[in-house]
Chain A
Amino acid sequence: DTGVSQDPRHKITKRGQNVTFRCDPISEHNRLYWYRQTLGQGPEFLTYFQNEAQLEKSRLLSDRFSAERPKGSFSTLEIQRTEQGDSAMYLCASSSPGTTQGTQYFGPGTRLLVL
């Protein structure tokens, strides 16, 4: 059983550029979450998918952020016109209705640095 995978693991970009991250959840998990974590903070919720439907978005998710999960499998998170404040670890997690109380399992994360 493979875990959650994310790609790339690291991304360095210049301010103003667009970046896209990919997340592949655990195969039988239909729920997928994106979180952002900055140094010294816990992960903060960004958005949630159940199958292909985006059901919840945090106020943290500005207009520059967009997420998709077109076929209910992998998901992408795009940040347009990146800002230095976007530098963070972007974490993806997945869960299944069958897992106890919706336990979420995290991928390794994508670390973004905006110069």
Chain B
Amino acid sequence: QKEVEQNSGPLSVPEGAIASLNCTYSDRGSQSFFWYRQYSGKSPELIMSIYSNGDKEDGRFTAQLNKASQYVSLLIRDSQPSDSATYLCAVKGNSGYSTLTFGKGTMLLVSP
């Protein structure tokens, strides 16, 4: 069974700090990795995707992937109170179709 693990949090950081969110996955053949942000009562919103080992930067967000360690992370620089949300890690395997396996999410709280 494919599993995606995230620390449920909450992760509390002060405004302006770097928030680090982590995710591990069990399916070694996984190919694509996604981070979604979900505000309370809302649907998931795509933040970033990453497919190759290393770092990928987009504005204040950096995704990091290490397939050997089966580990993916999301760094949020200069955290803002508006970043307070639940961050979902999602993984697409290389078998079957394009379905995603999600972690339970990490709640991030950014205090002013």
Contacts and interface: CB of A to CB of B under 8 A. Distances in A.
A42 B98 contact: no
A13 B102 CA distance: 28
29 contacts: A33-B98, A33-B99, A33-B100, A40-B8, A42-B90, A43-B44, A43-B100, A43-B102, A45-B100, A48-B97, A50-B97, A55-B97, A56-B97, A91-B43, A100-B51, A101-B31, A101-B51, A101-B92, A102-B32, A102-B92, A102-B98, A103-B46, A104-B100, A105-B46, A106-B36, A106-B46, A108-B43, A109-B42, A109-B43
B44 A91 contact: yes
The size bracket of the interface on A is 20 to 34
B101 interface: yes
Nearest to A46: B99
Interface of A: 31, 33, 40-45, 48, 50, 55-56, 89, 91, 95, 100-109
Contacts of B100: 33, 43, 45, 104
A31 B98 contact: yes
A42 B99 contact: no
A70 to B, nearest CB: 20
A33 B51 CA distance: 21
Nearest to B50: A101
B77 interface: no
Interface residues of B, number: 26
B21 interface: no
Contacts of B45: 106
Given A31-B98, A108-B43, 14 more contacts: A33-B99, A33-B100, A42-B90, A42-B105, A43-B88, A43-B100, A45-B99, A45-B101, A50-B97, A56-B97, A100-B49, A102-B92, A103-B49, A106-B45
B104 interface: yes
B46 to A, nearest CB: 6
Interface in B1-58: 4, 8, 31-32, 34, 36, 42-46, 49, 51
Which of A40, A42, A95, A103 lies at the interface centre, i.e. has the most chain B CB atoms within 10 A of its CB?
Answer: A42
